[in-house]
A and B are shown apart, each in its own frame.
Chain A
């Protein structure tokens, strides 16, 4: 829809946008945030993170996990990640306004793509959640974590919706309230893990802070980091990290699957359940 009358306005907007972005780029280069070519030395902060998360000698700053990214996410700035999880939850809740009068009951069509696509999807849809669970369970040992595992799981439900038809999951009991329940269960686990150590500290009369992981000299309570499990030996679970990763996996996978399911509902169903006059 190109219109001649708007062209002067468009040109001035283009000049303004490029000016702002060029100033932003000059600021990034001048403050040495971007170096051309890329820098070879670490910045101070990343060196500190890399050398302290698995440092058995200095236990007052460690996170008992070899995975630096997960340690920063759930230990050093854990409260920030909790807030980001709540932002995600609120976005899903906002989406539920689309289906606030939605009462499932009838069977939905399972007409998806061709036979070839359906067969391939039936194989991958089973294997993708296995990868997702592995990524989430090893979140404190190898690259990955709860966010990543949850996103991979959501890919499986999206595949099923697109290739096997939107009815495939709906007819098998993936209802709105059930997925919301899983979502809320994950959030409740995160909240209770975050509040366990402060409650223990309160009962013992010592200091402890919210979403604390390991022992600190000024907050002498800890989740521990190894456990002796029969038939397995001594396993490393890195305190809160494994529980938080699992809860986040549950929350993100259920939340994203719910979001995709709502979008995939038939149009007349959305119109009926949205309550628009």
Chain B
């Protein structure tokens, strides 16, 4: 019974994350307003980061991947036994490394798209893609 609940709950969490990704992709394709697309993009990138961190999780181990007890002035030599003991209790560092840079790059992309949206709004006075199409091409657009 315990094993069943383990699989059920973890499967539920993973499928929730994957459902959020599917919803954001759908929303970005269908919503006509550019700010809504931007919000959905930020939710998508955050969910992808969450998925990466969850992949790196180890059941039952929560120590950060930092060898304990080291400071600027106190840095003893670590032997193989201590290292193996530390590595055995630490979480997976590789997804954390990917996510650290992904967050900053995601923020930079978000800020850049924000600038582009401000420019578009200043020039055309709207951020609805249907009205934008009508204003840029001068025809059609709004059905």
- Min CB gap B126→A, angstroms: 12
A233 to B78, CA, bound (A): 20
For B46-77 the 0/1 string (1 means CB < 8 A from A) is 00000000111111110011111011110101
Q: Write the chain A residue with the least CB distance to B96.
A: A69
Given A10-B30, A45-B94, A276-B122, do A38 and B84 touch, yes or no (CB 8 Å)?
no
User: Does A14 reach chain B (CB closer than 8 Å)?
Assistant: yes
Contact B78 A68, beta carbon cutoff 8 Å: no
A234 & B67 in contact (Cβ 8 Å cutoff)? no
Main secondary structure of the interface of B (DSSP, over half): helix
Q: Counting CB contacts under 8 A, is A87 at the interface?
A: yes
**Chain A hits for B108, CB < 8 A:** 87-88, 91-92, 259
Say whether A131 faces chain B, with CB atoms less than 8 Å apart: no
Q: Produce 1/0 per residue, B96-108, CB < 8 A to A.
A: 1100110111011
Chain B residues, Cβ within 8 Å of A1:
32-33, 128
Q: Is B139 an interface residue (CB 8 A)?
A: no
Docked pose: A270 CA to B115 CA in angstroms: 11
**With A49-B94, A151-B103, A276-B119 given, is the CB distance from A36 to B83 under 8 Å?**
no
Decide if A151 touches B104 in the complex (CB within 8 Å). Answer: yes
- A262, closest chain B residue (CB): B115
A274 and B119 contact, Cβ closer than 8 Å, known pairs A49-B93, A73-B101 = yes
Q: Which residue of A67, A91, A236 is within 8 Å of B72 (Cβ)? A: A236
Distance between Cα atoms of A14 and B23 in the complex (Å): 8
Q: Which of B11, B79, B86 contacts A57 (CB 8 A)?
A: B79
Q: Given A37-B7, A57-B80, A263-B118, do A84 and B97 touch, yes or no (CB 8 Å)?
A: no
B137 at the interface (CB under 8 A from A): no
Chain B interface size range: 35 or more
Name the residue in B22, B29, B86, B100 with the highest tally of chain A Cβ atoms < 10 Å from its Cβ: B100
Chain B residues, Cβ within 8 Å of A202: none
CB-CB under 8 A from A232, the residues of chain B are 72-73
Pick from B15, B79, B93, B115: contact of A69, CB under 8 Å: B93
Rounded to whole angstroms, the CA-CA distance of A66 and B68 in the bound complex is 8
Q: Once the chains bind, are A143 and B66 in contact (CB under 8 Å)?
A: yes
| Cβ–Cβ contact B30 & A13, under 8 A | yes
In A1-57, the 8 Å CB interface with B consists of: 1, 3, 5-6, 9-10, 13-14, 17-18, 20-22, 24-25, 33-34, 36-43, 45-47, 49-51, 53-57
Give bound CA distance, A40 to B90, whole Å.
Answer: 11
Question: Does A175 have its Cβ within 8 Å of any Cβ on chain B?
Answer: no
A98 to B109 CA separation, bound complex (whole angstroms) = 15
Rounded to whole Å, the gap between the CB of A180 and the closest CB of chain B is 15
A150, B25: Cα distance in complex, Å? 30
A184 on interface, CB distance cutoff 8 Å: no
Q: Are B93 and A46 touching (Cβ within 8 A)?
A: yes
Contact B109 A91 (CB under 8 A): yes
Contact B55 A34 (CB under 8 A): yes
Cβ of B30 and Cβ of A50 under 8 Å apart? Answer: no
A239 interface hit (Cβ, 8 Å): no
Chain A residues near B (Cβ < 8 Å): 1, 3, 5-6, 9-10, 13-14, 17-18, 20-22, 24-25, 33-34, 36-43, 45-47, 49-51, 53-57, 66-69, 72-73, 77, 81, 84, 87-88, 91-92, 94-95, 97-98, 138, 141-143, 145, 147-148, 150-151, 226, 232-237, 252, 256, 259, 262-263, 270-271, 274, 276
Name 10 interchain pairs, CB-CB below 8 A, sorted by A.
Answer: A21-B18, A25-B15, A38-B59, A39-B59, A50-B87, A51-B84, A55-B78, A67-B67, A141-B72, A236-B75
Known A13-B26, A18-B26, A54-B70; further 16 A-B contacts with Cβ < 8 A: A17-B25, A17-B29, A21-B18, A21-B25, A37-B59, A39-B59, A43-B92, A46-B92, A54-B67, A56-B77, A69-B96, A72-B94, A72-B97, A147-B100, A234-B73, A263-B118
